Amino acid sequence: MSLNYRDRIPNNVDLGTNRSLQRALEHWQPKFLTWWQDLGPEGFQAADVYLRTATSVDAKGWATYGKVKMPDYRWGIFLAEQTADRRIGFGDFYGKPAWDQVPGDFRSTLRRLIVTQGDTEPASVEQQRLLGQICPSLYDLRNLFQVNVEEGRHLWAMVYLLHAYFGRDGREEAEELLARHSGDADKPRILGTFNEPISDWLSFYMFTYFTDRDGKFQLKSLAESGFDPLARTCQFMLTEEAHHMFVGETGIGRVIRRTLEVMNEINSDDPEALRKAGAIDLPTVQRYLNFWFSSSLDLFGSDVSSNAATVFANGLKGRPDEGRYEDHVCVEDVFDLDKPDGKGGVDIETVPLRNAMNEVTRNAYVKDCMIGVKRWNRSIAKAGKPFELTLPSTRFRRQIGSWAGFSVMPDGTPIDEEAWNARANEWLPTEADQQFVHSLMRQVTEPGKMASWIAPPDRGINNLPVDYEYVHLG
Ligand code: BYC
Ligand code: FE
Ligand code: FE
């Protein structure tokens, strides 16, 4: 299906045939652009950036590449192609025809899911707005901006649904998506992680590895939705998400590779010596990983959740890759959960499976997170260094769910609060870690050149060389 770029708002939803919707979105568009100018990448609005733009919605024919000024990026509304006679794949309405319109009984729940998803997209752009000023290379700068414009498009995707299917309150919610801001004391973003500052590139890579991966799993769940327009828009968003996680995985991989090189150059793995030589020591990488992984785990919601049971029952939000399961109704099955027993130990609680859907999705996510960790560890082992990165236990530093507020070591052992506080600086980035990492962050903009603390990528973008001028600073 070809995408219509003749309209002011590119789309493949025949926007031109729905005049009132088109007008409503054209009314929102300048507000979006103002938001982008004010809270998007600061200092680069006039730069020419080598960006990819969607040309078709199937995974193969996806992209064209070219130099674009970000405010001229063609943000649009693209849904995956409709499947004829699609059926609801899970819950109480299993096997019934998918909905083309909002099912009246679930209107407010569905709106809340769309708003929550939509809120994260501009939040991440806000979190990352100053990173360009301290980019480690033009290649990385371009990847940052690619991620940013696509998160902007994900906002468009949710705003389209709100405008097209939720009338007046949908339009109001669309305005609110531009009114809440990451980290704002009065009007913060909805979910915790999206209010955390991302003020250095190690955090940015951790965020794109761990938090964009939450995006992958949430989008996969919503791509199963019985509300067909939501399912189709999330299917296309997933094709964009893959690159975000690539940026995270290769970014962390390159940080590690550079550290290993410096270890060999100075013949030491002493963190202080490595820091003096301008590399990031592996224990610091581990502490950043602990922070962003545990924060991202909270994004899945409580382990026992009646909200999760309801959205599953109602056919609004399924499990990622629902088709892989045998039972799609899940009224009989149960799920065993660990929870604190209140006496410093662990209890098993058995709950109806539907109530544990957040945990089912979280478990799939943790498994997926392991893939990169294994890859990074292989490179460390290959360099002959006795160090292994690990994912901390899902009980560690939780703020949502039954482990919220409990003191647990990264290996999952509960300990008392005092002991935890005494050791927190082994497990989470300290102020000194952050100051050190920030001290390395100096802007590098000579084509092909990399900052001291990161190795070059294996290859460039779209078969171009690594030293291509990916961003022409205007
Ligand atoms: N922070 O039963 P509970 C992405 C709230 S990332 C603050 O535990 P439920 C992206 C919850 O709203 C993907 N509050 O969980 C990545 C509820 O509030 P109410 C984003 C939280 O209802 C990188 C209460 O606690 N997409 O795309 O199952 C860059 C108890 O709820 C948090 C989605 O999240 C938290 N971490 O909610 C750019 C999908 N967690 O109703 C983009 C849409 C929970 O009692 N959202 N709460 O006032 C949802 O499916 C669900 O709302 C949740 C889980 C995943 C948030
Ligand atoms: Fe996104
Ligand atoms: Fe993303």
CA 361 to centroid of chain Cα atoms? 15
Q: Which residues contact 222 (CB under 8 A, 6 or more apart)?
A: 113, 117, 230, 231, 234, 317
Quote the CA–CA distance of 138 and 466 in Å, as a whole number. Answer: 9
Per-residue model confidence (pLDDT) at position 133: 98
Distance, CA 191 to ligand 1 centroid (Å)? Answer: 6
Q: Where are the domains of the chain?
A: 15-472
SS (H, E, C) 255-289: HHHHHHHHHHHHCCCCHHHHHHCCCCCHHHHHHHH
**Mean pLDDT in residue range 387-403:** 98
217 pLDDT band, cuts 50/70/90, is very high
Q: Over 80: is that where the pLDDT of 62 sits?
A: no
3-state secondary structure of 186: coil
CA of 158 to the centre of ligand 3 (A): 14
Average pLDDT, the chain: 97
pLDDT value for 320: 98
In the prediction, which pLDDT does 436 show?
98
pLDDT on residue 177: 98
Please tell me the predicted confidence (pLDDT) of residue 24.
Answer: 97
Which residue do the tokens 């502490």 mark? 287
Residue 121 beta carbon below 6 angstroms from any ligand 1 atom: yes
Q: Can you tell me which atom of ligand 1 is nearest the CA of 305?
A: 2
CATH class (in words) of the domain with range 15-472:
mainly alpha
> Tens digits of per-residue pLDDT, 366-376?
999 999 999 99
Mean pLDDT confidence for 373-384: 98
pTM for this model (two decimals): 0.97
Q: Is the CB of 119 under 6 A from ligand 1?
A: no
Rounded mean pLDDT of 26-36?
98
Give 275's pLDDT tier (boundaries 50, 70, 90).
very high
- From ligand 1's centre to the CA of 75, what distance in Å? 26
User: Which of 364, 112, 100 is CA-nearest to residue 232?
Assistant: 100
- Residues 353-363 have a mean pLDDT of 98
Is the shortest distance between the CB of 208 and ligand 1 below 6 Å?
A: no
Token pair 């699609």 in the structure block, residue? 86
What DSSP element (H or E) covers 67? strand 63-69
Q: What is the mean pLDDT of residues 325-332?
A: 97
The residue contributing the CA closest to ligand 1 atom 36 is: 299
* 127 sits in which H/E element: helix 107-127
* Ranges 5-19, 154-168, 432-446: which has the least confidence: 5-19
pLDDT at position 1: 60
Q: Indicate which atom in ligand 1 lies nearest the CA of residue 217.
A: 13
Task: Judge if the beta carbon of residue 259 lies within 6 A of ligand 1.
Answer: no
**Residue of minimum CA distance from atom 5 in ligand 1:** 301
**How much is the pLDDT for 82?**
94
**pLDDT classification of 16: cutoffs 50, 70, 90:** very high
Other beta carbons within 10 angstroms of residue 257's beta carbon come to 19
